[in-house]
Amino acid sequence: MISPKKLFILPIVALLMIPFDSFSQRDYKLWLQYEKKNNPELVREYSSKISGIVSLENSESSKVALKELEVGLNDMLGKKIPVQSKIEGENLLVFGSKLSLDAEIQKKLSKDFEAINKDGFIIKTISHKNKKHIVITGKNDIAVLYGVFSFLRLVQTNKSIDNLNIVDSPKTNIRILNHWDNLDGTVERGYAGASLWNWQKLPEFIDQRYIDYARANASIGINGTVLTNVNANALILTPLYLEKVEALANVFRPYGIKVYLTARFSAPIEIGGLKTADPKDATVINWWKEKSKEIYKRIPDFGGFLVKANSEGQPGPQNYGRDHVDGANMLADAVAPFGGVVMWRAFVYSEHDASDRAKQAYSEFVPYDGRFKDNVIVQVKNGAIDFQPREPFHPMFGAMPKTPLMMEFQITQEYLGFSTHLVFLPKLFQEVLEADTYQKGKGSTVAKVVDGSLDNHKLTGIAGVSNIGSDINWTGHPFAQANWYGFGRLAWDPYLDAETIADEWIRSTFSNDENFIKPVKEMMMDSRETAVNYMTPLGLHHIMDTGHHYGPGPWVSDLGRPDWNPVYYHKADKNGIGFDRSKTGSNATSQYAPEVAKMYDNLATCPEKDLLWFHHVSWDYKLKNGRTLWDGMALKYQQGVDQVEEMVKTWNATEKYVDTERFKEVQMLLQIQLKEAKWWRDACLLYFQQYSGKQLPEGVEKPTQTLEHFKSLKFPFAPGN
Closer of 54 and 177 to ligand GCV (Cβ): 177
Closer of 189 and 528 to ligand GCV (Cβ): 189
Show the beta-strand stretches assigned E in 245-309. 258-262, 304-307
Burial code of 509-539, b = ≥16 C-beta within 10 A, e = fewer? bbbbeeebbebbbebbbbbbbbbbbbbbbbb
CA pair distance 705, 232, nearest whole angstrom: 42
- Active-site hit among 119, 181, 386, 391: 386
Q: Is 386 a catalytic residue?
A: yes
Count of residues engaged in binding ligand GCV, rule: CB under 6 A? 10
CA pair distance 268, 182, nearest whole angstrom: 20
Which residues in the 299-338 window bind ligand GCV by CB under 6 A? 308, 312
Q: How far is the CB of 328 from ligand GCV (least distance, A)?
A: 16
Q: Residues 693-702: contacts with CB within 8 Å, 24+ apart?
A: 693/574, 693/619, 694/619, 694/628, 694/630, 694/631, 696/634, 697/627, 697/630, 697/631, 697/634, 697/635, 699/635, 699/638, 700/634, 700/635, 700/637, 700/638, 701/638, 701/641
Closer of 144 and 396 to ligand GCV (Cβ): 396
Q: How far is the CB of 180 from ligand GCV (least distance, A)?
A: 5
Q: Are 92 and 53 in contact (CB under 8 A)?
A: yes
Closer of 255 and 418 to ligand GCV (Cβ): 418
Nearest to 533 by CA among 637, 617, 642, 630: 637
Q: Which residues contact 39 (CB under 8 A, 6 or more apart)?
A: none
Closer of 230 and 271 to ligand GCV (Cβ): 230
- Active-site hit among 119, 141, 168, 414: 414
Nearest to 461 by CA among 380, 522, 537, 383: 380
Closer of 189 and 448 to ligand GCV (Cβ): 189
CA pair distance 22, 476, nearest whole angstrom: 18
Q: How far is the CB of 345 from ligand GCV (least distance, A)?
A: 7
Which residues in the 414-443 window bind ligand GCV by CB under 6 A? 414
Q: How far is the CB of 499 from ligand GCV (least distance, A)?
A: 29
CA pair distance 462, 408, nearest whole angstrom: 6
Closer of 75 and 188 to ligand GCV (Cβ): 188
- Active-site hit among 70, 212, 281, 312: 312
DSSP one-letter code for 453: T
Q: How far is the CB of 252 from ligand GCV (least distance, A)?
A: 23
- Applying CB under 6 A, does 608 fall inside the site for ligand GCV? no
- Applying CB under 6 A, does 189 fall inside the site for ligand GCV? yes
Rg (CA), the chain: 27
**3-class secondary structure for 72-116?**
HHHHHHCCCCCEECCCCCCCEEEECCHHHCCHHHHHHCHHHHHHC
Residue 97: count of CB within 10 angstroms of its CB:
23
Closer of 30 and 230 to ligand GCV (Cβ): 230
Closer of 95 and 415 to ligand GCV (Cβ): 415
Closer of 547 and 697 to ligand GCV (Cβ): 547
- Cα angle 34-35-41, degrees, rounded to a multiple of 5: 110
350, amino acid identity: S
- Applying CB under 6 A, does 386 fall inside the site for ligand GCV? yes
Q: How far is the CB of 415 from ligand GCV (least distance, A)?
A: 8
- Applying CB under 6 A, does 231 fall inside the site for ligand GCV? yes
Q: Are 174 and 451 in contact (CB under 8 A)?
A: no
CA pair distance 255, 37, nearest whole angstrom: 27
524, amino acid identity: M
204, amino acid identity: E
- Applying CB under 6 A, does 261 fall inside the site for ligand GCV? no
Element (H, E) at 692: helix 660-692
Q: How far is the CB of 379 from ligand GCV (least distance, A)?
A: 10
Cα-Cα-Cα-Cα torsion 37, 486, 450, 189, nearest 10 degrees, comes to -150
Nearest to 623 by CA among 683, 693, 681, 539: 539
Closer of 146 and 349 to ligand GCV (Cβ): 349
Q: How far is the CB of 188 from ligand GCV (least distance, A)?
A: 5
Residue 355: count of CB within 10 angstroms of its CB:
13
Q: Binding residue for ligand GCV (CB under 6 A) from 35, 188, 212, 281?
A: 188
- Applying CB under 6 A, does 31 fall inside the site for ligand GCV? no
Q: Is 312 a catalytic residue?
A: yes
CA pair distance 139, 118, nearest whole angstrom: 6
Closer of 311 and 582 to ligand GCV (Cβ): 311
CA pair distance 541, 589, nearest whole angstrom: 17
Q: Are 462 and 490 in contact (CB under 8 A)?
A: yes
Q: Binding residue for ligand GCV (CB under 6 A) from 34, 121, 146, 180?
A: 180
Q: How far is the CB of 721 from ligand GCV (least distance, A)?
A: 8
Q: Is 414 a catalytic residue?
A: yes
- Applying CB under 6 A, does 230 fall inside the site for ligand GCV? yes
Nearest to 529 by CA among 433, 636, 420, 685: 636
Burial of 624 (0-12, 13-18, 19+ CB in 10 A): exposed
- Applying CB under 6 A, does 265 fall inside the site for ligand GCV? no
Closer of 42 and 718 to ligand GCV (Cβ): 718
The strand pairing partners of 306, in sequence order, are 262, 343
Nearest to 57 by CA among 118, 94, 100: 100
- Applying CB under 6 A, does 349 fall inside the site for ligand GCV? no
Cα-Cα-Cα-Cα torsion 188, 191, 197, 199, nearest 10 degrees, comes to 60
CA pair distance 113, 103, nearest whole angstrom: 13
Q: How far is the CB of 261 from ligand GCV (least distance, A)?
A: 15
Q: Binding residue for ligand GCV (CB under 6 A) from 213, 305, 347, 349?
A: 347
Kindly list the catalytic residues.
312, 386, 414
Residues that bind ligand GCV (CB under 6 A): 180, 188-189, 230-231, 308, 312, 347, 386, 414
